[in-house]
Amino acid sequence: MQIEQRVAVVTGAASGIGRSLCLAFADQGAAAVVVCDLDGGGAAQLAATIQARGQRALAVTADMANPADVAALVARARDAFGRIDIFCSNAGIIVGGGVELDDEAWSRMWAVNVQSHVYAVRAVLPEMLARGEGYLVFTASAAGLLTQLGSAPYAVTKHALVALAEWLSITHGDQGIGVSCLCPQAVSTNLLATSRRQVGDGAQAGSSASESAQAGSTASGSAQAAVDGVLTPDQVAACVIEAIADERFLILPHPEVATYERRRADDRERWLSGMRRLQARLSAER
């Protein structure tokens, strides 16, 4: 799908990968960009930046884990611009820990990292199917293909999101619906701060594919994610733009992830053993 003259909606858009995606869509000549975030002020500032360039933009404040907010976002975008061509479901949070985490933390992670994407698809897919055209982009993580040291909820929810994206591609790919799933490793964003606003001090710094590698964390997850380098949000957004043009499902800004995934599939026991060794080594270096 070509982005020029398309209407794009991006969630989690006030900062990080979402912000870079909005600016990239504007640079590619999108007809309009809808900037959605729980941080309404940040969304408004970015929309104003795009408008100052002479392009159309709309800021929407929404909690994507709230189905009413998601429905309102889609309705506002359609009222303003007539349709939604590309929906980038980019909202996500992280919390460090394992099965001992309380139910509230697990529930919030599931609500934002999985259910919010279900709500988004439920709201935009029927009209896309009726038109026979539309594009969905999901920000998952390399953790959704492999695992996430130090955060069981992140690993579990990102695996679930990859599965959702695959199901949608299989089910609707021959009906004009393009689907891409973004799975980077370390990216220099402020996910730590945005996660803390939602789940408190349990949010873990620097341990996922799309969070702040600038936070200075020495957690094992941070070192795991950064082993192949830390990308900027702009670099990741450029990969997304290219993937949409090619209508490519899996987006790997860190191409090494493809090798890791093949090794995992080829010999699961060996991969698990290797990951245990990596976890032990990184923990010893803390």
Whether 115 is in a domain gets the answer yes
- pLDDT confidence of residue 193: 46
Structural domain that includes position 74 = 7-257
Whether 265 is in a domain gets the answer no
Mean pLDDT computed over 191-204? 48
Q: Are 77 and 127 in contact (CB under 8 A)?
A: no
Whether 285 is in a domain gets the answer no
- pLDDT confidence of residue 143: 96
- pLDDT confidence of residue 178: 98
Mean confidence (pLDDT) of the chain: 90
Residue 119 annotated as catalytic: no
Query: Encoding tokens for residue 150?
Result: 């130090």
CA distance 16 to 10: 12
Which residue bears the tokens 């980019």?
Answer: 90
The domain tally of the chain equals: 1
Whether 133 is in a domain gets the answer yes
Whether 231 is in a domain gets the answer yes
The predicted-structure confidence for 226-274, as pLDDT tens digits, reads as follows 678 899 999 999 999 999 999 999 999 999 999 999 999 999 999 999 9
Q: Are 157 and 108 in contact (CB under 8 A)?
A: no
For residue 186, give the CATH number of its domain.
Answer: 3.40.50.720
- pLDDT confidence of residue 213: 32
Q: What percent of the chain has pLDDT over 90?
A: 83
Contacts of 93 (CB under 8 A, 6+ apart): 108, 109, 112, 113, 191, 194, 195, 198, 199, 203
In this predicted structure, the answer to whether residue 40 has a pLDDT above a threshold of 90 is: yes
Q: Which of 119, 135, 154, 260 is catalytic?
A: 154
Q: Which residues pair with 207 in a beta bridge?
A: none
Whether 49 is in a domain gets the answer yes
Whether 211 is in a domain gets the answer yes
* Confidence (pTM): 0.89
